[in-house]
Structure formats: C-alpha cells, structure tokens
Structure 1
C-alpha cells in the first residue's frame, strides 16, 4: 500500500471520527459515511496489485486478488443502506423537533452526577425523589427529568 493511500485512509478515519462525535445529526451521518469510505480505501489497497483476474489470461501469480474488491462492493452496499436509513431517521427527527441537534440525555447526567445506585430502586416515590433532587442541582433550561416507572 502506498503512503498516499494510507494517508487518505487515515484522514478519512480521523475526519469521520471527529464528525461522529458532533451533536448535529447531519454531521454524524457524514462522519459515518467517511468512516465507511476510509474502510473501503483500506480494503482496496490491502489487495495485491496485478492484472485483472480473468480466467485463461496469463499466469495466476500475476493476477490481482479479487476478494478485497468483492468485500468493498459489499461494504459499499451496506454503507449506502445504513446511510439511507440514518437520513430517513434524521429527517423524521427534524420534522418532529425542527432541530438537527441531538438533545442531551438528562437521565445520564443524573446517573453520572450521583454515581450508580448500590441497590435497585423499586419504589416509584424514591425514584421520583432522587430525580427531583438531581434536577434541582443544575439542569439546562427547558429540560424536565423523566420519571420512568
């Protein structure tokens, strides 16, 4: 594999990871696509270079390995289907919320702030009290904690 193609794959992986960690759904989808493109570049370049693998056209040792090419074609179809599904889900989310940003999960912040509970809370009143105490500390404006029975 050449240094240019290795650098291209590394750049695609790096940019894809950076975009995947953003809060906007459109950037997350583009980041996932860049990650899949980086994997495709890596697969194509992992194969041995040579002449096209046609039957009866030269020595078998001089032919390229067709397995990475077949894997890349499969990966392209899978990444296209995944991207299409994510775009449909992002569009539906945008229709419902008129926003592209992923909301912060308040319950995760409550758990992170107070650590995990040593005992399982089976009483709904105790759970509601724990959530309300955590909500009083510092919740972003407009967010109300959910009490899940």
Structure 2
C-alpha cells in the first residue's frame, strides 16, 4: 500500500510540475511540461490498474488475470505524447527561425479585443441581457 501511495504522490507531483511549466511562455518549457504531464498520467494509469496479477489469459494460472487495458492506454498515451512533442518541437524550431527565440508572442487581435471590451461599459455587467442596436454587426429582429 505504501508503494502505491508513493507512486500516486509522485504522479501528482509530476502533473503539478508539468502544469507549472505548461503555463510558461517559452515553447521549450511548454514541451517539458507536456512531457512531465504525460509521464505523470501514465504513472497514474498504472497505479490505478491495481496490483499485478497473472497474465491476462484465463486458465493459465490460479490467480485472477490482470487487466490489460491500462497498459494499452499507456502505450496509446506514449504515442500521442510523441506526436505532440514533435509538433511542439516543430513550432519551437520555426519560432526560433523567424524570431531568434522560442517565446510565444502576444496575439495582436486578442489585445485589440481586450481593449474594446475595456472601453465597452456594458461588458462589465452580466446582469443586462438586452442587446443594444448600436453595436456594429449586431443582429436585430
């Protein structure tokens, strides 16, 4: 029981560290965060599978057979993580080619929309559900 608790806590620490790195602006740290989260979730899959038993073939031994599904899920997660890691590495390399660094830049359109929302007085109140007809592009019936 102690080993399972230790593995579960280790998986939680890996996921927490991965989330922390995922929130950074550097694509290299984002990649490390994705890898840590993946390893933590894979460890959690194996911890949740329970104690190992006999091979997953009925009738080979007297012990109850183990469940092969968590191992199959971990293998699938490894393949998905490899694809995501390749994609993030490609993004980081392209960003380095264009800008000389792998920092994620602010989106100009998001900043413009944020400024428009700050200027709009009705966006501060969620209680008013009526729509004004002076909004450009608003649909009126």
Q: TM-score, normalised by structure 1?
A: 0.71
1:20 aligned partner: 22
Alpha-carbon offset, residue 81 of structure 1: 1.5
Within 5 A, what are the aligned runs for 1:41-80? 41-53=43-55, 55=57, 56-59=59-62, 61=64, 63-80=65-82
Aligned partners of 2:66 and 2:51: how far apart in 1? 5
Aligned partners of 1:38 and 1:50: how far apart in 2? 19
Q: Which runs of 4+ in 1 moved over 4 A?
A: none
Within 5 A, what are the aligned runs for 1:101-140? 101-115=103-117, 118-120=135-137
The count of aligned residue pairs is: 120
Which of 39, 43, 47 pairs up with 1:37? 39
Task: Report the RMSD for the aligned CA atoms in angstroms.
Answer: 2.1
Aligned partners of 2:52 and 2:9: how far apart in 1? 22
SS of equivalent residue, structure 2 residue 20:
helix
Unmatched 5+ stretches in structure 2: 121-134
Aligned partners of 1:48 and 1:14: how far apart in 2? 23
Unmatched 5+ stretches in structure 1: 122-149
For each residue in 1:76-128, what CA deviation from the matched residue of structure 2 results, as whole angstroms up to 9, or x when unmatched?
Answer: 0111111012112211221111111111112212211221874339xxxxxxx
